[in-house]
Amino acid sequence: MTETAPVSDEAGTFTFPQPRTCPYQPPAGYEPLREQGPLTKVTLYDGQQAWLVTRHADARELMTDTRLSSERSSDGFPIITPRLLDARGFRTLVTMDGAEHSMYRRMLIPDFTIKRTRAMRPDVERIVDECVDRLLASTPPVDLIQGFASELSSRVVFELLGVPQEDQAFFFARSAQLLQATDTKQSEGPLADLVDYLDRLVASRGEAEGTWLLDRLAGEEVEKGELDRGDLVRMAIQLLVTGQGTTAQMIALGTATLLEHPDQMEVLRKDPSGVPAAVEELLRYLTIADMAGLRVVTEDIELHGQVIPAGSGIILPFALLNHDPEVYPDPHRFDVTRAPGQHFAFGFGPHNCIAQGLARLELEVTFRSLLERIPTLRLDVPLSELRVREAADMQGVYELPVRW
């Protein structure tokens, strides 16, 4: 892919985010940022400056430091795009800290245990098989995102939440509109529809007993007064957006990456038992949630002899950290046999992704099925011609046309 020089402002300070030119590789400006040292200042779109961390080891230490906050409404929090301004007050598990965060996370844990995830495997396998059937019944070229990955990841989330079968088409349409929105105005309508629907669904589940997340929390926590109905709705929205959006992009870009590396794909065809390790390498290599490491300092922190004052924004770019040569030899090489490391694809510390086990299961089943059932799968257009998502968004593309 074509590389671009790192972008800086008039004073010579690096700007952030750095532009992307490749769907599956980190921005070209990341390496010059790493060369600046373990800690450097960057300038955001509004002129605000923030501290950027470039080393994997430092990030692991900071991600467990209670002096860092995820609260977006705090003064100094690094807002990297104007689109996040309107979302500052939308509180979710991602934006909570301390005891409040722990309380809500505790409520969700029963739905994401190893035992619960294993119990979902037959449902995930059924959903993947049905989505592959639909894909094969379509006339190519087909957009692998909207024609396969988005539906697949949505249906897994619907299964988790307990969205009735008859409502799933509506739910999928609105969530797709929300994820495709490029500004606040476009997202307002579908977000309002989803909030209204989920509010009514939660209200109707108050006395229901079931194994689905909404049933359980509505019956156990909302009824007892431990959880506000609005909070449960926001939890569901967060699970929908993160579960559908990031997983759909992982499926699409993971497939594209394998197709761009036929030697690695052949390794997996010869030995499908290597798929779980390949999933870990894809998670590291792609790092869809590159921009999830945004924090604000609540007390002074000293790092490498530099005092980072309270109220300063800190940025931990997960894709940059996942390509740290001190941790991953030859980090820009895609190698499905690489020994899995402790990457940042799901974050780290108290805010690590609670649904990572389910995401891993979904990716493993999906890639195994695509390799076995569609051996002639190929890209319809070169990756260089695809429109890459903006730098402040998740890593990904807007469409991925394929043939077989």
pLDDT tens-digit map of 90-109: 677 888 899 989 988 999 99
Q: In the structure, what pLDDT confidence band is assigned to residue 9 with cuts at 50, 70 and 90?
A: low
Give 164's contacts (C-beta < 8 A, 6+ positions apart).
none
Is the four-CA dihedral 109, 112, 113, 115 of positive or negative sign? positive
Question: Does residue 3 have a pLDDT over 90?
Answer: no
Taking the C-alpha atoms of residue 173 and residue 11, their distance in angstroms, rounded to an integer, is: 45
Question: 302: which strand partners?
Answer: 307
Structure tokens at 276: 């779980």
pLDDT given at position 205: 66
Supply the mean pLDDT for the chain.
90
pLDDT tens-digit map of 43-77: 999 999 999 999 999 999 999 999 999 999 899 99
Between residues 118 and 92, the one the model is more confident about? 118
pLDDT given at position 1: 45
Question: Does residue 207 have a pLDDT over 80?
Answer: no
3-state secondary structure the chain: CCCCCCCECCCCCEECCCCCCCCCCCCCCHHHHHHCCCEEEEECCCCCEEEEECCHHHHHHHCCCCCEECCCCCCCCCCCCHHHCCCCCCCCHHHCCHHHHHHHHHHHHHHCCHHHHHHHHHHHHHHHHHHHHHHHHCCCCEECHHHHHHHHHHHHHHHHHCCCHHHHHHHHHHHHHHHHCCCHHHHHHHHHHHHHHHHHHHHHCCCCCCCCHHHHHHHHHHCCCCCCHHHHHHHHHHHHHHHHHHHHHHHHHHHHHHHHCHHHHHHHHHCHHHHHHHHHHHHHHHCCCHHHCEEEECCCEEECCEEECCCCEEECCHHHHCCCCCCCCCCCCCCCCCCCCCCCCCCCHHHCCCCHHHHHHHHHHHHHHHHHHCCCCEECCCHHHCCECCCCCCCCECCCEEEC
pLDDT given at position 12: 61
pLDDT given at position 8: 64
Structure tokens at 394: 């998740």
pLDDT tens-digit map of 147-174: 999 999 999 998 888 888 888 888 888 8
Taking the C-alpha atoms of residue 217 and residue 54, their distance in angstroms, rounded to an integer, is: 39
Taking the C-alpha atoms of residue 216 and residue 156, their distance in angstroms, rounded to an integer, is: 17
Q: What percent of the chain has pLDDT over 70?
A: 94
Max mean pLDDT among 189-193, 220-224, 342-346, 391-395 falls in 342-346
Q: Do 278 and 365 contact (CB within 8 A), yes or no?
A: no
Average pLDDT for residues 285-290, to the nearest whole number? 95
Question: Does residue 182 have a pLDDT over 70?
Answer: no
Peptide bond into 329 cis (omega under 30): no
Please give the angle made by the CA atoms of 25, 26 and 32, to the nearest 5 degrees: 130
Taking the C-alpha atoms of residue 128 and residue 367, their distance in angstroms, rounded to an integer, is: 10
Between residues 184 and 61, the one the model is more confident about? 61
Average pLDDT for residues 214-241, to the nearest whole number? 82
Domain boundaries, the chain: 14-392
20: Cα within 13 Å, side-chain hemisphere: 26
Of 84-93, 97-106, 138-147, 218-227, least confident by mean pLDDT is 84-93
Taking the C-alpha atoms of residue 231 and residue 358, their distance in angstroms, rounded to an integer, is: 22
Question: Does residue 191 have a pLDDT over 90?
Answer: no
Fold of 14-392: Cytochrome p450 (1.10.630)
User: 74: left (phi > 0), else alpha (psi -120 to 50), else beta?
Assistant: beta
Question: Does residue 287 have a pLDDT over 50?
Answer: yes
Q: Do 299 and 309 contact (CB within 8 A), yes or no?
A: no
pLDDT tens-digit map of 364-387: 999 999 999 999 999 999 998 999
Q: In the structure, what pLDDT confidence band is assigned to residue 121 with cuts at 50, 70 and 90?
A: very high
Please give the angle made by the CA atoms of 151, 284 and 148, to the nearest 5 degrees: 15
Closest CA to 121 of 363, 353, 354, 372: 363
Backbone angles phi, psi at 227, to 5 degrees: -135, 130
Average pLDDT for residues 259-270, to the nearest whole number? 96
